Amino acid sequence: MALFGKKQQSAEISLKDIQLPEHVGIIMDGNGRWAKKRGLPRSAGHSAGAKTFRKIARYASNIGIKYLTVYAFSTENWKRPQGEVDALMRLFTDYMNESLRDFRDDSIKLRFIGDRSAFSPGMLKLMEENEEISRDREGMVLNLAMNYGGRAELITAMRSLAQDAADGKLRPEDIDEKVVSDRLYTSGEPDPDLIIRPSGENRTSNFLLWQSAYAEYVIMDVLWPDFKESDFDAALIEYAKRNRRFGGV
């Protein structure tokens, strides 16, 4: 994974000249450091990050991205101080209420990926209502990864396959890549082509482990709350320059 700094941006290439990825993933990282730099509590960084999320989701949809998956809360993020976790849950709730209220004419299809069992009944209801209201929309699919972990997702898939095998509904030799993909939260969706990680960290942090087998990673120095539409463009342009071989020549 190469660090991709602003200096490498190519000013002369524009989006209309390049092939866009069908599916983009974003690890929305750096909220805490953004707040710390300003002497603010981490929760202020998360509020700022939530604004950036709204802006970039809308932008991605407008420029024609078909699938956007954003990592909002990992299975490991429960380790954080309770006050920070509570602040994040409030931000998720605000977003879900707002999207029900304000986005009735929107074209975005909202889906939640992750283990829902950890969320309050109120949040679960909001997730279901948001999915229901947007189910038949034709626009961009927006996967919001909440209490998502790639390993947990694979364990859930393995358990369901093992159960089917125990029930005599599945033979071990029937398990192939498609069978596994179909048991993941992203079932039916294409794998991510591009994964953007702002904040400069060079790791997956348990994001889309199976699905990212051949994703192009673009690591950027900007902190998520500072992430602009132009940073998204720069990542798309960097992606378009990559030579994807998928193991071939």
Active-site residue set: 29, 77
Residues 6+ apart with CB under 8 A from 220: 3, 4, 5, 196, 197, 198, 199, 200, 227, 231, 234, 235
Q: Compute the least distance from the CB of residue 126 to ligand IPE, in Å.
A: 18
- Residue of the chain from 4, 53, 67, 71 that contacts ligand IPE (CB under 6 A): 71
Per CB under 6 A, does 119 bind ligand IPE? no
Per CB under 6 A, does 74 bind ligand IPE? yes
**What's the distance, CA 231 to chain centroid?**
16
Q: Compute the least distance from the CB of residue 211 to Mg ion, in Å.
A: 21
Q: Tell me the DSSP string of 174-203.
A: G--HHHHHTTSTTTTSPPPSEEEEGGG--S
Please count the residues of this chain forming the interface with ligand IPE, following the rule CB under 6 A. Answer: 17
Tell which positions 204-223 bind ligand IPE, by CB under 6 A.
205
Query: Which residue's CB atom is positioned nearest to ligand IPE?
Result: 32
In 65-84, which positions are buried (b, 16+ CB within 10 angstroms) versus exposed (e)? bbbbbbbbbbbebeeeeeeb
44 three-state secondary structure? helix
What is the distance between the alpha carbons of residues 148 and 168, in angstroms, rounded to a whole number?
A: 30
Helix (H) or strand (E) holding 55: helix 42-63
Which of 25-33, 100-108, 161-169, 214-222 is the region at the interface with ligand IPE (rule: CB under 6 A)? Answer: 25-33
Which of 28-36, 106-114, 179-187, 226-234 is the region at the interface with ligand IPE (rule: CB under 6 A)? Answer: 28-36
| DSSP-assigned letter for residue 208 | S
Q: Compute the least distance from the CB of residue 220 to Mg ion, in Å.
A: 14
Per CB under 6 A, does 88 bind ligand IPE? yes
Per CB under 6 A, does 31 bind ligand IPE? yes
Per CB under 6 A, does 28 bind ligand IPE? yes
Q: Compute the least distance from the CB of residue 108 to ligand IPE, in Å.
A: 20
Is 144 exposed, middle or buried, given 0-12, 13-18 or 19+ CB atoms closer than 10 A?
buried
Contact residues toward Mg ion (CB under 5 A) are 29
Binding site for ligand IPE (CB under 6 A): 27-33, 71-74, 77, 88, 199, 201, 203, 205
